[in-house]
Structure 1
Amino acid sequence: MLTDLRPSELVYRGLKSAGIDLVASVPCVNLKELLCLLSSDPAIIHMPVTREEEGIGVCAGAYMGGRSPAIAMQNSGLGNSINALASLNMLYGIPLLMVISHRGTQGERLVGQIPMGRLTEPLLKTMGIKFFRPRPHEAEETVEAAWSIALNEKRPVAVLLDIKFWEGR
């Protein structure tokens, strides 16, 4: 049964099931375990980047080169990514799976995370980017389904993972 797996393992399994073979990432404490899993998998190219929009560009190029890309990032970087998402992915129909650690939600201890935490969903809605908020036991299927939607609709799709997700709730 999947309930004995940690949330990061379930997201990782979803990426594997979806056929993701390149993941750009920007560090986040909540993504630490997932990034370690990705780095240890020889079938996935894990490419740490310095900024989210850099990762968006890397993923777009990877897709055009025949890869199935995703980006793992914190929601605070969504604001950095808006132009790249709109003028690259959305304009040219480039699919992207975004696995986003959604900081600033209920239970957040760092006050600086709260403003972007509140703006994340409205920004995604304004941009017309579909997003999902799975619980841990739904993560594997949700990640796989989100990539399928991104491919079929030729656009970015986000999977938002809040504090409760990382706590296993």
Structure 2
Amino acid sequence: MSQAHSPLSGAAILGALKAAGIEYVVSVPDLTTSEGVLRPLATDPQLKLLRVCREEEAIGISAGLLAGGKRAAILIQYTGFLASMNAIRAIAMEYRQPICMLVGLLFADAPEDPRQSANYGVNRMVPLIEAMGMPYRLARNDEDAAGIAPAITRAFDLSEPLTVLITRYPSA
């Protein structure tokens, strides 16, 4: 990926969520997205922020919103994704629910390719998601963020989960 790309902005992420018809964002606060995404999200009149204590709760709440005809996205850290593997396996994969997760890669020291990170958890994320057969995308810059809305729309159309790995700290 060339350095000529614009940096990842929270505005691009929020715009993508809105373009995909997301109404709710279920989140556990995290360092990767706090300044650029969570703070603006908390005051955005189009999106409703639901704060939860545990990432597993976010999976179940997102599924409940879906059952009620609402579109939700989940915003968590990779550590919470790893801690929620059983809920992700059951609800997203086995029940084929469009659970759309934006996952911050805290300490992603190789944002162009997280598999090259020195951080054990970060460098295992892509192989783990691939092993599960889950669709995913990387969000490294605003050009990548432009692909989030179509990916979320596809996930809802096909009733399949999606993980978007946020590899850089988004700016406001």
- Give the TM-score normalised by the residue count of structure 2: 0.84
Deviation at 1:17, TM superposition (A): 0.8
Name 1:22's counterpart in structure 2: 24
Provide the rounded CA distance (Å) in 2 between the counterparts of 1:87 and 1:140.
Answer: 28
Is the CA contact (8 Å cut-off) linking 1:105 and 1:114 kept in structure 2? yes
- The alignment's C-alpha RMSD in Å is 2.4
Is the CA contact (8 Å cut-off) linking 1:146 and 1:158 kept in structure 2? no
Provide the rounded CA distance (Å) in 2 between the counterparts of 1:43 and 1:119.
Answer: 34
Deviation at 1:51, TM superposition (A): 1.1
Provide the rounded CA distance (Å) in 2 between the counterparts of 1:155 and 1:86.
Answer: 12
Question: Which shifted more, 35-44 or 10-19?
Answer: 35-44
More helix by share: 1
Structure 1, gaps ≥5 residues long: none
Q: Which amino acid aligns with 1:26?
A: V
Deviation at 1:155, TM superposition (A): 1.6
Provide the rounded CA distance (Å) in 2 between the counterparts of 1:26 and 1:72.
Answer: 7
Deviation at 1:138, TM superposition (A): 1.7
Corresponding pairs, count: 161
Name 2:86's counterpart in structure 1: 83
Deviation at 1:151, TM superposition (A): 1.0
Name 1:10's counterpart in structure 2: 12
Relative distance call for 1:92 and 1:6 in structure 2 (3 A) is closer
Question: Which shifted more, 128-137 or 4-13?
Answer: 4-13
1:63 aligns with 2:66: yes
Is the CA contact (8 Å cut-off) linking 2:108 and 2:167 kept in structure 1? yes
- Give the TM-score normalised by the residue count of structure 1: 0.85
Provide the rounded CA distance (Å) in 1 between the counterparts of 2:37 and 2:61.
Answer: 19
1:50 aligns with 2:53: yes
SS in structure 1 of the partner of residue 139 of structure 2: coil
Q: Which amino acid aligns with 1:125?
A: E
Name 2:131's counterpart in structure 1: 126
Structure 2, gaps ≥5 residues long: 112-117
Name 2:114's counterpart in structure 1: none
Q: Which amino acid aligns with 2:165?
A: L
Deviation at 1:103, TM superposition (A): 2.3
Identity among equivalent positions (%) equals: 29
Name 2:170's counterpart in structure 1: 166
Matches for 1:113-152 after TM superposition, within 5 Å: 114-152=119-157
